[in-house]
Amino acid sequence: MTVSNMKTTLKSNIKDVWEIVTSLENYAWRSDISRIEIVNEKQFVEYTKDDYPTTFTITVKEPYRYEFDMDNSNMSGHWTGIFNQLADGVEIDFTEDVTAKKVFMKPFVKGYLKKQQETYVNDLKKALCK
């Protein structure tokens, strides 16, 4: 099991950040995925630019807390996103808890998660500036 956390403050309001992050229809701001297929109200599949699928099952979606389980052929895990309104913006606190399914991948998981989280936050910052 590998845990990775990304916490940062965005110069925006909480409603805008929440809507962007939780929308399954408006994902064009994401540079790391090609499409999202909605299975039902609790499940969706994200496809990378190389068409690699990851299935997500939403476990919590309440105002300013979003959680889901993730699963693909390489890993499984859980993601938690907490959103807090501050005087100067919104603090996002995203945590991923992932288990590699292939032994040879275990040493690379932490670095991969950090890179993914950085890409996600950078894409989110760009989306908020539009």
Residue 6 has pLDDT above 80, yes or no: yes
What residues does each domain of the chain span? 2-21+59-129
pLDDT at residue 36 in the model = 98
Span 2-21+59-129: which CATH code?
3.30.530.20
Q: Tell me what the mean pLDDT of segment 86-97 comes to.
A: 96
Residue 55 banded pLDDT, cuts 50, 70, 90 = very high
How many CB atoms are closer than 10 A to CB 18?
A: 19
Which backbone phi and psi does 29 adopt, to 5 degrees? -70, -15
Contact by Cβ (8 Å): 42, 60: no
pLDDT at residue 130 in the model = 72
pTM exceeding 0.85: yes
How many CB atoms are closer than 10 A to CB 92?
A: 23
- Closest to 34 measured CA to CA, from 47, 52, 21, 45: 47
103 Cβ contact list (under 8 Å, min separation 6): none
Angle at 51 between CA 45 and CA 54, to 5 degrees: 30
